Amino acid sequence: MKKFFAILLTLALTVSCLSACSSPGNKETTPSGGGSAAQSEVEKIIAQAQTMTLEELAKKAIEESNGKTFYGVGNSSRGKSALPLFIDYLKTIDSNYNMEFEWQQPKNNKIFDQLTADSLKSTGTFAMTLIQDGNQIESKMVQTGILKTFIPKDWASANNTTVEAYKGYLPLQTLNKIFEFNNTGSKTYSNVWDFVAEGEHGLYMDIDSEIVGKNFLYMLTKPEYAKGLKDAYDALDASKKSYFDPVINGLEKDATELGLDANGKYALAWIKLWVESYNAQPDDGPICNTLVQKSATDQFGLLVYSKLRSVEESDQVSKKNVTVAAYQDGYTGFGGYGYCHYLFVTKNSPLPWTACAFIAYMTCTVDGFSAWGKDIGGYSSNPTVAKGTEEKFNHSTSGGTDFPVLNDKGFDWWKGKLVIEDPAYCASVAFTVGSWIEMLTKYTAQ
């Protein structure tokens, strides 16, 4: 087995190096989103759109799409709620404007296949996309030139930068998945290592069902997060350390072979114990519905924070039955992970001006973000919009004293408590750490 792992790791490192060296997406001269040196018509429109205000873009959108149908695709169903608001906004500029729309939300990670197939047409069906999973976005969508980044001028200004200076994708929002536990019993979780202690089986969406969950595990090996795990381990008492020590020490060699730093063994140990113990669930909704049950004593999960919004109170079900682990005084270690929904224009967009205007509307106005901003656990990437969203919806006090679990502390607080996805880092370790995790999942399944 050790020889097999060594061979697999060598191959993975070779492929990773070749990919990094040959990828056109790593060349600074490549236009946004990959492609050739000569700009396509969509890229020319994006370049022009990035110099314009939202109102200027809106006028272009009205001219382009009046009487037409707009097709969007995304990992979030809420694009369907945002589009009517966008149309209403355009009508404030031209009352005669009208546009039909359709929003699709592919399941089971099929969005990448759908966008790839659509990219083969001379003119695509989808005008834009809202998409998650930075690792696959980078390798399958950006480096291949299928998706094009558009940075709204107003968004860049709100973030105290310029379109030219900003590097990276355009995030609509950061979402958090957090540790929550049922509090009807006596058990508490005060350290992130408590979730992988002996006998624990957290409820979690399977990492092969939602790939951002796998990216979370990749991110734990990044030095800053590995150090956080080491610091949390140091805070444990001797009896708890004695359970983890054999696992941690047994992975020191693997950490070295994977090119991780001195704290890498702590990250690998946590990953190994988590992968081997979590109770795989089909979605975050069922996890939430389980944890709020009075009968779910001593169970915990790692799930999207906003799922709590839909819990209906009864004798057997209550949001009061759940505690957010990181909100406890004295909690040590990360309290969950964060990942982004990114916005792109498709390379063969049939309505590129309208796509850019819609993207600017969602990222630069409170109303445009409200389809997501109305609930806890989703944080606009635009500081001005984030502030306006809190003023409008009062998430920090939305639960009051009756349901304190709903009092969202906001992204400025959460960002220091989350393992936040970095697409570039995830892509850099997808073959190495990724292969190691694949080995774990295969043998756990057996």
Q: Would you say residue 311 lies in a domain? A: yes
Query: Do residues 47 and 101 share a domain?
Result: yes
Q: Would you say residue 1 lies in a domain? A: no
Query: Do residues 237 and 221 share a domain?
Result: yes
Query: Do residues 263 and 308 share a domain?
Result: yes
Query: Do residues 55 and 183 share a domain?
Result: no
Q: By residue range, what is the domain housing residue 66?
A: 33-173+339-397
Count of beta carbons in the 10 Å neighbourhood of residue 10: 11
Say if CB 92 and CB 388 are below 8 A apart: no
The 3-class secondary structure across the chain, one letter per residue, is CHHHHHHHHHHHHHHHHHHHHHCHHHCCCCCCCCCCCCCCHHHHHHHHHCCCCHHHHHHHHHHHHCCCEEEEEECCCCHHHHHHHHHHHHHHHCCCCCCEEEEECCCCCCHHHHHHHHHCCCCCCCCEEEECCHHHHHHHHHCCCCEECCCCHHHHHHCCCCCCCCCCCEEEEEEEEEEEEECCCCCCCCEHHHHHCCCCCCEEECCCCCCHHHHHHHHCCCHHHHHHHHHHHHCCCHHHHHHHHHHHHHCHHHHHHCCCCCCHHHHHHHHHHHHCCCEEECCHHHHHHHHCECCCCCCEEEEEHHHHHHCCCCCCECHHHEEEHHHCCCCECCCEEEEEEEEEEECCCCCHHHHHHHHHHHHHCHHHHHHHHCCCCEEECCHHHHHHHHHHHCHHHCCCCCCHHHCCCCHHHHCCCEEECCHHHHHHHCCCHHHHHHHHHHHHHC
Q: What is the pLDDT of residues 214-225, one digit of tens each?
A: 999 999 999 999
Query: Do residues 192 and 165 share a domain?
Result: no
Query: Do residues 271 and 136 share a domain?
Result: no
Q: What is the pLDDT of residues 240-268, one digit of tens each?
A: 999 999 999 999 999 999 999 999 999 99
Mean pLDDT of 57-82: 97
From residue 18, alpha-carbon distances to 21, 211, 255, 428, 438 in Å are 5, 23, 22, 11, 21
Mean pLDDT of the chain: 91
Q: What is the pLDDT of residues 403-423, one digit of tens each?
A: 999 999 999 999 999 999 999
* Residue found by looking up tokens 């729309």 in the block: 101
Q: Would you say residue 15 lies in a domain? A: no
pLDDT at 17 over 90: no
Name the token pair of 207. 């990492």
pLDDT at 21 over 80: no
Count of beta carbons in the 10 Å neighbourhood of residue 378: 25
Query: Do residues 383 and 417 share a domain?
Result: no
Least confident residue range of 192-201, 329-338, 343-352, 434-443: 434-443
Query: Do residues 239 and 298 share a domain?
Result: yes
Say if CB 311 and CB 396 are below 8 A apart: no
Q: Would you say residue 138 lies in a domain? A: yes
Q: Would you say residue 406 lies in a domain? A: no
Query: Do residues 192 and 270 share a domain?
Result: yes
pLDDT at 210: 85
pLDDT grade for 109, boundaries at 50, 70 and 90: confident
Query: Do residues 210 and 289 share a domain?
Result: yes
Q: Would you say residue 128 lies in a domain? A: yes
pLDDT at 443: 61
Q: How many domains does the chain have?
A: 2
Query: Do residues 373 and 426 share a domain?
Result: no
Query: Do residues 130 and 39 share a domain?
Result: yes
Looking at residue 147, which CATH number applies to its domain? Answer: 3.40.190.10
Q: What is the pLDDT of residues 170-201, one digit of tens each?
A: 999 999 999 999 999 999 999 999 999 999 99
Q: β-strands 336-346, 147-148: how paired?
A: antiparallel
pLDDT at 342: 97
Q: Would you say residue 319 lies in a domain? A: yes
Q: Would you say residue 299 lies in a domain? A: yes
pLDDT at 445: 54
